[in-house]
Amino acid sequence: MGLLDRVNQPADLLRLSPAELATLAEEIRQTILKTVAANQGHLSSNLGVVELTMAMHIVFESPRDRILWDVGHQCYTHKLLTGRRDGFPTLRKTGGLSGFPKPAESPHDWFHTGHAGTALSSALGLAVARDLKGETGQVIAVVGDGSFPNGMSMEAANQIGHLKPDMIVVLNDNEMAISKAVGAMSQYLTRIITSTRYGRFRDRVRTYLERYRRVGPAVSQLIKRLEADVTSIWGPGVLFEELGFRYLGPFDGNDIALMAEVFRQARFLKGPTLIHAVTKKGHGFAPAEADPITYYSPAGFDVVTGALAPKKAKLPSWSDAFTDALIRLAGEDPRIVAVTAAMLEGTMLKKFQERFPGRIHDVGIAEEHAVGFAGGLAAGGLRPVVAIYSTFMQRAYDQVMHDVCLQNLPVVLAMDRGGLVGEDGPTHHGVFDFAFLRHLPNLVVMAPSDENELVNMLATALSLNHPSSIRFPRGQILGVPVDPFPKPLPVGKGRLLREGNDVALIAIGTQVSVALAVADRLAAERGIRASVVDARFVKPLDEELIVSLAGRCGRIVTMEEHVRMGGFGSAVLELLAVRNIRVPVHVLALPDAFVEQGHPGILRERYCLAPGPAFEAVARFLGVRGAAAGA
């Protein structure tokens, strides 16, 4: 039995000697390596915070002391120490442990997180609620260096500096994000941890001032103020001090004993305290230390050598197809520029950066700024393409409305990971974008059914003089031939792929291939002839095509990998209502609920978005003539 088997709750750490704690850290690290190698997940970030997490749980009494994890993708050690060791092999599996903090799993988790920049606001709220209720306990927010410059983090820091509650912010400085950290804050933190000049200067000043400590109370006070002033001018944490925090650090975040002592001292300090902990990304696993980006979330690897699992021959991803098309179009139009928010690798824009280094901007984890910045680029005569995951575009909703659509600027929103994305779960599924975009004036909303449609939709978007959005899924492309020269599509016109008079299957995006499969089975097994439409556009709809199909077929099924409320099916129902057309309509879409984690294939089967279950759902609908709209 290993030491980890003896740790069921954080209090069990208090019974271990320093040597045993070091052994436990290695056992935790090996457990994380084996689990991520099998299940995939976030590796480098979790290896870097093993000791830091242990130190927090040695000192703080969770859940009485509330520990919040910003983003939450570094919480694996926390899960292992808080009673979830036995369930850890199910990490990120369907029905298993979440890869992020999740209150439904444990009272040690306070928020179900997955987006960066939220912890400071939530922690401040908990601290204020604690004080108003007269409760005790510390509030600790663990925030990465990539998340701290996020707009929401800075807004929270501003109020923390004003209210000055008792709380601790642990700045986990490891330069670890999906892409390399960028921006002035990143450069500032780098200067803090690499500069030795301040330390030498401070020591010299203190040595000099010590000579005059006994010259009398008045002069002594003057000297103390002088020392404080010198520190405030030259000190490494001056920015945080000016924001209202007491700054402590930088410290070696991978030293358990040191960090435990720092936390012991900090827990009794009044007001907001920021502890700057420098951790090594991928710590303890040489391959991840050498290449933390590759091992950020590896698909599979050898836990001894770090050798990555050989890649199976497969088609390129949708992200590849998007970037390749963007590169081709940018070669013809010098106005085209790309903008992303800490997702150069995830969106495959690294290739664009290599080809056009002066025409791409990674703004860091700042989606709101990315879209607002793109509005300025467009107003200045450029053609910006903003590549952000669908789930993160939600964060920039106001900027899409106010700074792009209201101004009617030709900004292209390229939303990767549209639809179900799998094991990251409800914080990452991109299933709300149709609903929060289609009601905005001036905006064209598109979703391709294959990679050739994606290429031509990108050409369409860049040809428009007003805003547009393109939403495409995660995973491999379909392998259809791609037009050598991308051409704009007629806006608001769908494609009639199959003709039939018994029912109209009107699908958008990835569900078009499902609709074709359903139509084949309906014809083969039920003798039902279905029309199949690739709608292409969520807004504007191809009204005449939909109206004509309603009249000819008398029954409609809409199909989308999106929530039912406010989505594509809702748009079709609105159109029919306005035209006073009464035909049975069945909306195949996701329910009004947050979809759990799981393999996308399993989830599509569960929610009738795969060919087999979709066929059964359509057959049931057709067997009940006159079914209520939207049933």
**The two structure tokens encoding residue 460:** 């369409």
DSSP state of 430: B
Is there a contact between 399 and 436 (Cβ–Cβ < 8 Å)? no
Residue positions counted in the chain: 631
Q: HEC states along 6-54?
A: HCCCHHHHHHCCHHHHHHHHHHHHHHHHHHHHHHCCCCHHHHHCHHHHH
- Pairwise CA distance, residues 555 & 61, whole Å: 60
Catalytic residue chosen out of the listed positions 66, 130, 383, 395: 395
DSSP state of 338: E
- 59-74 core/surface letters (b: 16 or more CB in 10 A; e: else): bbebeebbbbbbbbbb
Catalytic residue chosen out of the listed positions 29, 79, 92, 281: 281
- Pairwise CA distance, residues 488 & 71, whole Å: 39
395: annotated active-site residue? yes
Q: Which residues lie below 8 Å from residue 380, measured CB to CB, with a gap of 6+?
A: none
**The two structure tokens encoding residue 12:** 């069990």
- 285-318 core/surface letters (b: 16 or more CB in 10 A; e: else): bebbbebbbbbbbbeebeeeebeeeeeeeeeebb
527: left (phi over 0), alpha (psi -120 to 50) or beta: left
Q: Which residues lie below 8 Å from residue 241, measured CB to CB, with a gap of 6+?
A: 232, 235, 247
Is there a contact between 488 and 456 (Cβ–Cβ < 8 Å)? yes
- Pairwise CA distance, residues 341 & 360, whole Å: 11
Give the closest residue to 426 by CA, choosing from 299, 598, 177, 297: 598
102: annotated active-site residue? no
Q: What does the longest C-alpha to C-alpha distance in the chain come to? A: 104
Catalytic residue chosen out of the listed positions 29, 105, 350, 367: 367
Residues identified as active-site: 281, 367, 395
